[in-house]
Structures are given as structure tokens and as C-alpha cells.
Homo-oligomer: A and B are copies of this chain.
Amino acid sequence: MSGIRQHLHERVIYDKLARLKSESGSHSPSIQTLRQTIPELEIRVDACFLSNPHATDLFMKYLEVEVINAGLLREVLEYYPSQNRVIAAHLAQSIGVPPSNIIVGNGATELIQAVMYHFVHGKVVLPIPTFSPYYEFARPGTDVSYHQLSKARGYALDIEDFARSALSQSASAAILINPNNPTGAYLGIAELRELLERLRTLDVVVVDESFIHFAREDETLTPINLYPLAQMYPNLILVKSMSKDFGVAGARAGYAVMSSERVDVLLADGFLWNSNGIAEYFFSLYSRPEFRQQYESVRRRAVQETVDLQAELSLLPRSRVYPSHGNFVLLELLPGLSSGDLVSALLVRHGIYLRNCDDKIGLQGSYVRVASRGADDNSRIVEALKDVLL
């Protein structure tokens, strides 16, 4: 294709993408939607999609051997799955939390909605940029006070600042996504504990730890456990998706840890029978030490791959990476580069789909989020970015 024709071709796709994105609200158009709407695209790497593909491999291997090949899939789909409390008891073994403090969700989204509906009222302080459902699902009447994270500090949370802001506004609730999405910024356990201590008078502090399996306290990559904090601070609600770290978004599995009184409130009016047969199988698998051991190895692999991806991305010109503890890297484009143009060029020329972050409130500048998709795909992403940015 000649330079001009190539440019026109990219322009058309860019316009289609822009339209699709505006129709998708605060989510990116899914790869399925892209394929349907712009069939001329050949998408090789979906680097919008946040998951650990090695964990998906592991889950599918078990499902195939233990359920499908064993002829048990019909049973899983025909009969009623267990109720919330039963699955919570399984999960209690996996994560070392009393079952009465666990509510199992049909995906974390359900629990985010439930927490925002039932427990987050009055004034709530929320750092931005962050994961949009926490402001989208605020109940009408809830006063969401955005706490702008400092770009100069790499959008990392300053606990002094944040606590002061919450207390001075007499907020009843505070929300934190840790590691944060889309920045990847992580507040370590010691600092988080200090923050919770200062916020102990609030009704509720929500910490979404959906990306915690990718975070690192140090070079040992030891799994991080925030549950002891929930024992110490009864106002703490921990929300956890299993879609990111286990790569099973279609199974809809998530959970939250909170005071048993709050679990009782939720179970009194909903969430009774909210796990499907596949999700129940997932949770029963997760309760088995042998599975968890195998998972630990693919978890570390994913963490290492993200670390490597970040190192590679940091060498790119005309851009800047933010240190990430998620399974993705936030890339800021230097002035003069548009994230929409970059996403479009990568899609058209290389079949690589990045998350355009220009809808994220609180991000100052032009950004894309690059999901870590495993070493091979990560190399493709880096090469493509080199081509487009050089």
C-alpha cells in the first residue's frame, strides 16, 4: 500500500474505532465487537484484555481431564450448584479466611455493585485515575469526591494526603484499587495498614485487590495476603475478581471479604444461588493444594513476564512507562502523539489491540495500557510499538 493509501486506510479504521469506543462507554469495545464491526482487521494480539493466559491454560487442562473427559460436564450444568455459604466454605480453605467473612460473587462486578449499593453512602473519597465501576455504580445521592493522584508521583497514592482528604471532608467511605488500574501503582502492606489505621473511623474502606496476585513486595515474588488487615479493621471490605489472575472471566467468579454482619446483610436479600456449575468447579479446584501449587508457578511466570515487558517498554522512544504491579503497563505518550492514532496504527499495521486510556478521568496526558499476554505475544507487542514509535 502506498503511504497515502495506507494513511487513508488507517484514518477510516480510526474513525470506526472512535465511534465504537464512544458507544462502549467506559469499556473498550471487545475484540468480538471489533471483529464484527471491522472485519477487515486481522487481530493477532488482544493486549486490551487483562488476564493470565497461563492460568487459563492450567484451568482448562483440569476442566478437560476431570470434567469433560470424565463425562461429568452434564452433571455440572444439569444440577443446581451449591449455595453461597457452601462455596464460601471451600474458598475459606484456599485463602485462610473464616467462611462467615466471605461472600462469593457471580464475578467481582456483582460484589462491587452490591457494596456500592448497600454500604457506600454519604461522602466517599475515591482516588483517580482508577477503575471506573467504582464511580459508575455509586448510588444516586452518594457524593463521590475524587482524589486526584499526583502525576509527578507517578499516580502513586500518598497516604498522608489521602487520609487528610477523607477525614477533613468527614467522608464515610474510602475506596482504593490496589494495585490500581490503569496505572499499576501499588501501595505496600505496611503503608496500607497505616492508611487503614487512620481511616478506622470511617464506616467502610473498600480495597479492590483484583490485581494483587501480580503485585510484589520484594524480589522474592511471594504472594501477598491482605486478609490479616480485614481481621484488624472491621470496616475493611476486600473485593477480589478471579478473572484477571486466573483468566476465567466467562466463569464469573469473584469474592469479597468483609465483616460477617455485612455478609449477612447481603445474603439476606440476594446472592443465594449465584455461582454456576463451572464457577463452583473452579472454586473447588482452587481449594486443592496441588492446584494452588501449580497456579503459583504460572502466577510467578506472569509476574516475571510483566516485569520484562515493562523493562522493554521503558526503552521505547517518545513514551514513558509507569512502574506496574498489575499484569499490564501504562504507557504515556509524549506530547504530539495521540493515543487514538497509536491504537489505530498498531491495529492496522500489526494486528495488536491496546487499550486507549483517553476516557479515564484523572489521567493527565495521552496514555495507552498494554496488557502482558505472555512472553511471545509481549515480544510482538514491543516490536510493533518500536515500529510505530520509531
A interface residue numbers (CB < 8 A to B): 30-32, 49, 51, 56, 59-60, 63, 68, 73-81, 106-107, 109-110, 113-114, 116-117, 137, 139-140, 243, 247-252, 268-280
Tell me the complex Cα distance, A84–B141, Å.
24
Give chain B nearest CB distance to A73 CB in angstroms: 7
Tell me the complex Cα distance, A49–B60, Å.
29
Which chain B positions have C-beta within 8 A of A51? 78
Give chain B nearest CB distance to A380 CB in angstroms: 19
Which chain B positions have C-beta within 8 A of A140? 268
6 A–B contact pairs at CB < 8 A? A60-B77, A68-B68, A78-B250, A106-B274, A117-B269, A139-B269
Q: Is the CB of B114 within 8 A of A32?
A: no
Tell me the complex Cα distance, A371–B361, Å.
55
Q: Is the CB of A252 within 8 A of B276?
A: yes
Which chain B positions have C-beta within 8 A of A49? 79
Which chain B positions have C-beta within 8 A of A110? 106, 270-271, 273-274
Task: List 11 additional contacts besides A80-B250, A109-B273; criterion CB under 8 Å.
Answer: A32-B79, A56-B77, A77-B251, A78-B249, A81-B250, A81-B252, A106-B110, A107-B274, A139-B269, A250-B277, A276-B279
Pick the residue among B32, B74, B114, B280 that contacts A56 (CB under 8 A): B74
Q: A276-B106, A278-B77 are in contact. Are A117 and B248 (CB under 8 A)?
A: no
Interface centre among A31, A140, A271, A277, by most chain B C-beta atoms within 10 angstroms, is A277
Q: Is the CB of A60 within 8 A of B79?
A: no
Q: A117-B269, A279-B276 are in contact. Are A248 and B77 (CB under 8 A)?
A: yes
Q: Is the CB of A249 within 8 A of B117?
A: no
Q: A60-B73, A137-B269 are in contact. Are A251 and B274 (CB under 8 A)?
A: no
Q: Is the CB of A250 within 8 A of B76?
A: yes
Give chain B nearest CB distance to A260 CB in angstroms: 18
Tell me the complex Cα distance, A80–B270, Å.
22
Q: Is the CB of B80 within 8 A of A30?
A: yes
Give chain B nearest CB distance to A85 CB in angstroms: 11
Q: Is the CB of B60 within 8 A of A250?
A: no
Which chain B positions have C-beta within 8 A of A277? 250-252, 278
Tell me the complex Cα distance, A31–B252, Å.
25
Tell me the complex Cα distance, A129–B59, Å.
44
Give chain B nearest CB distance to A24 CB in angstroms: 10
Nearest residue, chain B, Cβ from A76: B250
Which chain B positions have C-beta within 8 A of A107? 273-274
Q: Is the CB of A113 within 8 A of B250?
A: no
Q: Is the CB of A243 within 8 A of B80?
A: yes
Give chain B nearest CB distance to A11 CB in angstroms: 29
Pick the residue among B30, B31, B78, B137 that contacts A247 (CB under 8 A): B78
Give chain B nearest CB distance to A378 CB in angstroms: 18
Nearest residue, chain B, Cβ from A116: B269
